[in-house]
Every structure is written in structure tokens, then in C-alpha cells.
Structure 1
């Protein structure tokens, strides 16, 4: 029996030695009766039985029509079990990586074996259609084989699409041969002119994507939209939207001005960015994404009536920005990486960054408010009539005090560096804050300053190891606070950071604020610098993630420029003095 760990799992010849199934008679009726006896309450037992059934169907020596009918009899039950298993992936990926690798392996085995059965049926049916001479009286048999070939090709690609989604959620790489077999299935369908055939009409089924062309497009689109820079829940959102976006993607065998990506079907490789350095064979496919880019550019406009309920539900502003940025820019590495192995200190999140950059001072204390705002907690016992003592009024601060877990300083290993970032390896239990799009502080040693960055991508390497990439945004960071100008009835502030960078020999300031929906471009807010407060206007967004946003900004009153510059300068001086003092300890 082949295993999914074999390098040739999808293409290796299958040894079909079984003359019968061990658990039921090899018929649709026998399969249905066996399913009724299956213990549905116990997921572990039913999963094991169903996986063994799928493997035996693959190894059964029988006609391809019967094999197709048998796997179709199990199809609904298999998807129900897989749906339950895959819920774990979206609920707690960190837990899956550390404790439930067996669940991951089981789910992947299911997808791979189901796909392998349909792949086998599709190519066997195609071989029979090309090798047999069908008489006039065998016309019905030929039509049935053509139908099985079409349906099996479709369901094989459907499983490969769901497998790709599963791998993206878990930050896993594609299996060897996975891309090549997908390309071969599409070529089979296109060459024999059934890639646009309506499967729902042919089979009387209800599938969201009606033909093989759209399924193949979805697989390629999922890979294009994934850059290891988004969370599993966001990968699911893009997956749901992809069912509609495939209609905006064009895959053709002729290059045009809009051919952004290229597919070499002879290689076991996903689509790559189309550029002049690539050698392009005659059988390559070209992918155009301009229509999707134009569609997504309108998604934020309130007057846009073309956006669907699905897109409204799943697309956040950060996801829209992600797709726009991906389809509008050239996603090539700008900086060469250099080998550099060392340990590095990490602190996750904007709140933690504010805490450490404020010399381990809690956020409320950095505001230097004349009077601290508290919520009164009423306790009826303190107002008892027989108690002669003065009633005690307990108060609770509006501002959350960081717990030890949130502000914990972690340590991990640098694998290599570039001019503007790090590639790191994480070993052991994964903290919940380690996620794409999270703000992060990094410090190479006790004598170096904290640098601020963002986690750009995460990739699972093995059961106990993760690799992730950090882009450094600035090493000149100044803690501050912001308040929405519209909130006149409250004095609640949010932690924020000022980032200083040299651009063309000119010092430029940007601001990082929490979240991706609270603060928006073209918005006026109050900026608090210690005990002073000035008004600023947020311009365009430089970066939006699920946990923070980075904006360019300008002062509403130019006369207050000196207050801003003085605050940034004073903080820089305190950091230098602290570093000197730390070095003397």
C-alpha cells in the first residue's frame, strides 16, 4: 500500500489485489448497509473505518464504473467526518501544531486517498476510451466511460483544491507530485474538450463551481493569494470568496499584456510571477488577474453594488489591502538574505511594545493625567445600615494592566537576516501572539535597542518547529497615546507608537495605532505626548494588519511641530541613557 509520505504517491502504480472488500460486499447496496451500521457517535472509530474503506476501494480489482459508484456512496459521509476534523484547524492552529498532529495527518490522508481514487478512475477511463474499439452497439458503454472520466477528473481536482486549503491553513507545503497531477488533470480535460462541461447538469449534483476550468482556477488562485502573511481565519475568508473570484480570473495558453502569472504544466510547481527571465514553453498557461484587481479596488466604495453578501461578510479592510497589494505589486524579494545564526529576544503586540519602550511603565501611568479615571464597583455590603464604619468604595481602572503572559519576553533562534528583516525558528509550544500581522519588538542583545517590526509569514517545518519572517519597520520608536476626536464624552486613550525613518535624507514620522477598523484614513485624532496633547490628521495607510495599522499623518496646527519633535528627541535621549546604565550593571 502506498502512503502519502512517498514521493510518488499521486503517480505510483496501484497494486489492485483485492477480489472483495473485507467489511461489506462490493456493491452500492452493500456499502449503504455498512454505512448504516457505522458508529457515527464515536468519531475516532468511524474515521478509522472510513479511511480503511477508502484504501480498500483503491486496492479493489474491479471495473472503474463500480469503483466510482463505491466511492460516491461514501462521499457524503467522508465530507461530514472531514468537516468535523477540519474545524480544529480554524479554532486553534497552535494547539494542532503542538498536540494534535495525528488529527492533521488523518485529515490529510483522507483528502489524499479520496483524490487518488478519482485520479486513478479518470486516467483509467481515459486509457480505455483511447485503447478500445467501440462498436455501434457499444455506444452506451463509451458514453458511460466519458461521463465517468469527466466526473472523476472534476472530483479529483475538487479534492486537490480542498487539500490545498487544508495545507494553507496549517502552513504546510504541497506534497511531492501534487501540483504536477493537478496540471495533468486539467490538460486531460482541456485536450478532450470537457473542461467547461457543467458537472451539476451531467451528474445531477449541486457543486458551487460547475466545471473543471473553475476548479483548476481556484487551486491556482488559492496559492497566488497566499503569502504566509495571513491568519488561518483569513485564509478561510479568501477561500470562501474564491468561489466567486474564479470568474474574474483568466487562464489561457497565449501570453497577453495582462498575463501576470505563468504555469509550467511539466513541472511540479505552482504558478509563478511572469517575467522576462522565465523560459516559456509552448504548453505553458498564463493567468490574468486584472479583472479581480479592478473588482477588489472597488470593494471599499459604499456605492459599489457589485460586491456580494459573501464578500461583505468575509472581507475585512486588511484582507482587501492584502489582495490589492499582492495583485498590484511585484512580490519579489527586494533584499538578499545572509546566513546569521544567533538568539534574539521578542515581545509580541503593540501593548507590550508600549510597555517596554516606556521603561516598563503601565500605559495609564504614561498618560500623566491629572486624575485617573476609574469605574466604581458598588458593593451592597458596604452600605449596610448596621455598619457604623465609612463605606468602602472599590474602583477599577478603565485601562487593562498587562498580565505576565502578554508581556513575557521570549527567545528564539535567528536563521538568517536581510537588510530589512529576519527569518527565525521557533521551537516548542507556540504562544497565541505568534501570528501573521502581529506587531513585534526584537532585540538582538542587551546592548542593542529594541526594533519594531511585523510578522510577515509563518511556515510549519515539522511537528515541533515553526519558521517565521519578521520585517523591521523601524528602530527609532517613541511610545505615545491616541484618542478619537469624536469621543468627547470620554477621555479613553489607546496605546500607539511613533516610528521614525530616514527617507531620502529626510526624517519621516509615521504612527502605529491598534486594530484595523477603529482608525481610518482621512480621520482627525488627538495625539497625547506625556502630559501634552495635539491634534493630527491621518493620511494614507502604509500598512494594515489584523492587529495594528500604520499611517502617515500631518499636524492640524503646524506651530505644534516643535512639541512633537521635542518629545521624540527626549525619548531617544532617555533610551540612550538607559542603555548606558544597563551596560554598567
Structure 2
């Protein structure tokens, strides 16, 4: 039996004679665990972190170390679950909390890897009495807990730690060579399938890496990870990678890639996902399927997974390298604020006269200045707007457009609200902040940008952005499609939804009960070249296709019906719609770019 794989797995030196916090036996460790201050998660996690660090370095037999690790593993998983929940909801300290959970799990993995190395050494030396289940169980535990460290890195859009994939690959290769890859191992920390194999534990990491995780959110990745506990039975690893969509090299420090992109692999394995994709698609079409889908899993998420695991899609547009500053604001609330010319939402509802500033947007310049900046012979698409032309003259007799905003804030101060100009206070900057980003490349569909500032907490895939080039005062509307962090910083892919938008207020018309409160929304014009009708971007809840809504714009309330949801993310929905009453009344709305 070759010990080549084990010599390349990193384990800490066994340099401790005893534990500093209790006697070196499972019973004493169990009593220590019971006495932990569970009400204080951070303090308890720090103590368990030190305990796992010592257990991984304890000079004992493989069986003794395994018994100690099995005793502390349940409480460690419980603490990691609590820390992960806190990290997901903490805006200020999420990264620090996640790092603590990651260190806990990494220490536990180090202990199990030490068991693997020591157990294999004893087996190679011909030691008698070695538990035959020790190696498959230790390999399974190491693969399972390493997969959780991988999940955490993907949830925060960061690259996996050095050697993470190498050790995952090497542990599975060792299981193959020991012929224990399909050995059934019981794991009480699993939810759906308490008995799994080292192969399924390894496949969990592979499939998680193949699902385009940089296009998914924190919660979505956690849901996929839990589903994979059961779904791995529909996926196979094969020595012949010829017909597989994905492949992995077990002798590399790389995760899975598309098979056609793999070159000169030493120990290639093909990852066959076609049966899993068939199961997901059958479920989506209400056909007979064996796959179990947890309640609450959204159809868009399942479609994403079927696409990610089912085909290699080429880029629809060629990217062109570019440079320059792109100004970005994050979230529907901030996008609505800047598209409204810098007025708070309530001000727009309270006083329709404040909408003069909204109507001036996206110029943010007086007509004479716009003429000087306009290329000779060109026509601004906003010149013939159906509502701008009718409701506001070409020169609305506002010599100082910023004065409208200033007066609105003075009125807000009189009502007891904060009224300082944007950027003058820390509170205002954090409420509606503009970030300077750097464009990396561009395509007809959007941009790749690099984030230069600290990431705001709401920055996730599926979030709405308003963005503009530094030389253009007009805001475009976009959505974040993917996020990736590495040593160079944070890069993200931005899909443009519309080059212009009109900020409005909407609320659902309820059949029973009083009216609901107005919510921010954006009207996007029809884009005839790509056959995209006029649409409305709303918050995710409570808006649904088929609902009738009140649409408030320029002091006029209209009635409309949401017809079809064309985009659904964790933050917003995008609907086509038709007007039912009001000054926009027609059978189908005709808000076009040529009218704006």
C-alpha cells in the first residue's frame, strides 16, 4: 500500500503530552463540555477552539484522538451553526464571526487528518488490533468538515484557503486506494441521510463548487449544501472523464472545472451530473422524480442549479477591456433616492411639488449646460418624453435645481427630520452612499467592475444598483449577477437592465382590508431592440404577478396590473404590467426609450 497521498496531507506535530483544560480521556472531556458557558457563544467558541487545537496536537494513539474528536464534534457543530447565523445577520462583524467559525472547523479537520495519517502509518507497520472502521470514518469526517469550510468561503465570495482543494482531493484519493470510498459511515450531524460514504461527502464539495456559487447568496448556498446531503446519490465519479461535463484532478490543488477546460491531469475523475439534472428538471415539470426538494426552495434557484450542473454556456457577448470610474449606489432604496434627484421617498409622497427635482433627473444639469455637453447633431432621448414635455416646460424656471433639494430638506427639518445635504453627515452617507468603482471590461450586457471601497453589508448577488459613468450624470439601472473576491480585491459582474428609469411609488390593492403602504419602485422603459417591454421593479414582497396596484407618479395615482414576473431575485421582482386607469391609461403601457 502506497503512503504517497498521506505524506502530502498537512497535519500538526504531535507535541503535547496532555490537555490543559481536562484529563486526556473522553469522559473527562464530556464533563468539560457540559460545563461550558453556552449562553456566551463567543467565549464558548474560544474555549472549544483552544480545545480542538490541543487535541489535534496531542501525542496519543489514533483511536484515542478519534474518541476525543467524536466527543467534542457535536458541540463544535452547534457553535458553528450559531456563529454562522450571527455572521449572516451581522452587518458590522459578520466577517470576524465567520472567521471564528472557520477556525473551529479547521482545527477539527486537523485532528481528523492526524487520525488518518497515524492510522495509515499503524496499518502500514502491521499493527494488530487496529479498528477497521477507523480510517474510513476519519476520512469521512475530514471530508465532511472540510466541505463546511468550503461552504463558508463561498458564502463570503472569497477564494478557498491554500491547499483546501488539495487535501479534499488527496483524502478522496486515499479512500479510493484503501478501497473504502463506498464504505457506509454514520454521521449524526447530517439531517437527511444519517449514513453516507466518503464519496458522497467528497461529492458535496464538488457539486457546491460547480453550482456557480458566485451567483448565489449566503442563504441560498446554505440551502444547496443541505440539499446535496441527499442529492449526491444521483451523481457519480468515474475514472474515465471523457463524457462528463465536469472533471477534477485528484493530484492538484484545484477544484472541479469543465472537462473541456482540463489539460494534462494526473489523476482525472469525471463528475457525471446528468441524472441529477434530469431529476431537478422532472421535479420542475411536475413529472415523476425521486429527488427530495425542501419546502421553500424557489423555482428560480432550481432552474439555476439545473443550468449550472447541466451545460457549459458560452458567453453571449464579447467582453472589451475598459477603464474609468463607475459610480454605484446599492439597493432599491438608494437607487430610488438618486433617480429622484436626491429626495427622500416620504418627501415625494408628501409634496408633489418636490417632484420637480425628480423630473429634472437624470439631467442634473440646466438645459443650456446640457446643450454644451451634447455632441453636435445628436438628440437627447429625454427631449420628447411624454410626461416631461407635457408637465414640465423645457426650462421650468428653476435657475438652481439644487435649490429644490435644499428647500425640500428645509421643509423636512421643519417636520423634525434630519435635513443636512447628502454627504454632510455620517448618517446620510451611510443611508444613501455613492461608491467609486473601477471598470475592468464591458459588453453589451453590462460591466465587470472592481470595488475600491469596503463592501457595504447589503452587497449580494441579485441586488439592484443605480450606476453611471463619472462623465455622465444620468443613472442606469443594473443588477449584480456574480461576486468574486481574491487577493486583488472584489470584482463583480453587473447586468444592465435599462439605461434609464423613472422612480415611482406602488402599493398593492387589497380586496379585503385597508390600503397598504406605498413602496419604492422603478419604471423601466421598453427596449425595442431586444424585445423587452416596459417593466416595473418592485421589492420582492408583497408583489406578485396578477395583482392590481396603485402607481403614484408626479402627484397622480393610477391603477395598473402586474402581468408577468420576468426577473426574481432575493431583493426585487421585475414585472411587465398594463395600465388600468390614470393619466397613463391604455391597454398596454407604451413607455419607450424614444419617449424618454
Q: Could you state the TM-score of these two structures normalised by the residue count of structure 2?
A: 0.72
| Residues 26 and 321 (structure 1), Cα distance of their counterparts in 2 relative to 1, 3 Å cut | same
In the alignment, which residue of structure 1 is the partner of 2:19? 21
In the alignment, which residue of structure 1 is the partner of 2:252? 267
1:498 aligns with 2:483: no
Residue 524 of structure 2 aligns to a residue in which SS? strand
Q: Unaligned 5+ residue runs, structure 2?
A: 1-5, 353-421
Match 1:472 to one of 465, 472, 496: 496
Residue 9 of structure 2 aligns to a residue in which SS? coil
In the alignment, which residue of structure 1 is the partner of 2:453? 427
In the alignment, which residue of structure 2 is the partner of 1:320? 302
Whether the 8 Å CA contact 1:341–1:413 is kept in 2: the answer is no
Q: How far 1:483 moved relative to its partner? A: 7.3
Q: How far 1:351 moved relative to its partner? A: 4.9
Residue 496 of structure 2 aligns to a residue in which SS? strand
Match 1:96 to one of 89, 93, 98: 93
What do the CA deviations read for 1:84-109 (whole angstroms, capped 9, x no partner)? 322212222x3235xx62x3332222
1:412 aligns with 2:436: yes
Matching of residues 333-344 of structure 1 within 5 Å = 333=315, 340=322, 342-344=324-326
Whether the 8 Å CA contact 1:151–1:199 is kept in 2: the answer is yes
CA distance in 2, matches of 1:511, 1:205: 42
Residue 186 of structure 2 aligns to a residue in which SS? helix
Whether the 8 Å CA contact 2:328–2:465 is kept in 1: the answer is yes
Whether the 8 Å CA contact 1:510–1:550 is kept in 2: the answer is no
CA distance in 2, matches of 1:486, 1:475: 33
Matching of residues 310-389 of structure 1 within 5 Å = 311-313=294-296, 315-331=297-313, 333=315, 340=322, 342-359=324-341
1:295 aligns with 2:275: no
In the alignment, which residue of structure 2 is the partner of 1:394? none
Residue 139 of structure 2 aligns to a residue in which SS? helix
Q: How far 1:566 moved relative to its partner? A: 6.5
Matching of residues 79-478 of structure 1 within 5 Å = 79-92=77-90, 94-97=91-94, 101=96, 103-132=97-126, 138=128, 141-142=129-130, 144=131, 146-200=132-186, 208-255=194-241, 257=243, 259-275=244-260, 277-279=261-263, 281=265, 283-300=267-284, 308=292, 311-313=294-296, 315-331=297-313, 333=315, 340=322, 342-359=324-341, 408-419=432-443, 420-428=446-454, 430-445=455-470, 447-460=472-485, 466-478=490-502
Whether the 8 Å CA contact 1:352–1:406 is kept in 2: the answer is no
CA distance in 2, matches of 1:63, 1:180: 26
Residue 312 of structure 1 aligns to a residue in which SS? coil
Q: How far 1:322 moved relative to its partner? A: 2.7
Residue 197 of structure 1 aligns to a residue in which SS? coil
Q: Which moved more, 1:242-251 or 1:471-480?
A: 471-480
CA distance in 1, matches of 2:211, 2:50: 35
Whether the 8 Å CA contact 2:154–2:213 is kept in 1: the answer is no
Q: How far 1:122 moved relative to its partner? A: 1.3
Matching of residues 494-573 of structure 1 within 5 Å = 495-501=521-527, 503=529, 508-516=532-540, 538=563, 542-550=566-574, 564-565=589-590, 568-570=593-595, 572=596
Residue 95 of structure 1 aligns to a residue in which SS? coil
Whether the 8 Å CA contact 1:10–1:178 is kept in 2: the answer is no
Q: How far 1:182 moved relative to its partner? A: 0.7
Q: Unaligned 5+ residue runs, structure 1?
A: 1-7, 371-401, 573-585
Whether the 8 Å CA contact 2:449–2:492 is kept in 1: the answer is yes
CA distance in 1, matches of 2:489, 2:25: 45
CA distance in 1, matches of 2:8, 2:231: 28
| Residues 171 and 209 (structure 1), Cα distance of their counterparts in 2 relative to 1, 3 Å cut | farther
Whether the 8 Å CA contact 2:237–2:270 is kept in 1: the answer is yes
CA distance in 2, matches of 1:110, 1:68: 17
Whether the 8 Å CA contact 1:515–1:546 is kept in 2: the answer is no
Matching of residues 13-92 of structure 1 within 5 Å = 14-92=12-90
Whether the 8 Å CA contact 2:181–2:197 is kept in 1: the answer is yes
| Residues 510 and 217 (structure 1), Cα distance of their counterparts in 2 relative to 1, 3 Å cut | farther
Q: How far 1:332 moved relative to its partner? A: 5.2
Residue 271 of structure 2 aligns to a residue in which SS? strand
What do the CA deviations read for 1:299-333 (whole angstroms, capped 9, x no partner)? 4557878664x6213x1234234324423453555
Q: How far 1:153 moved relative to its partner? A: 0.4
What do the CA deviations read for 1:404-443 (whole angstroms, capped 9, x no partner)? 6797241222151222213221423x44432220111101
CA distance in 1, matches of 2:316, 2:537: 27
Q: Could you state the TM-score of these two structures normalised by the residue count of structure 1?
A: 0.73
CA distance in 2, matches of 1:206, 1:536: 42
Q: How far 1:460 moved relative to its partner? A: 4.8
| Residues 174 and 231 (structure 1), Cα distance of their counterparts in 2 relative to 1, 3 Å cut | same
Residue 452 of structure 1 aligns to a residue in which SS? strand
Q: How far 1:156 moved relative to its partner? A: 0.5
CA distance in 2, matches of 1:47, 1:201: 22
Whether the 8 Å CA contact 1:537–1:555 is kept in 2: the answer is no
Whether the 8 Å CA contact 1:442–1:452 is kept in 2: the answer is yes
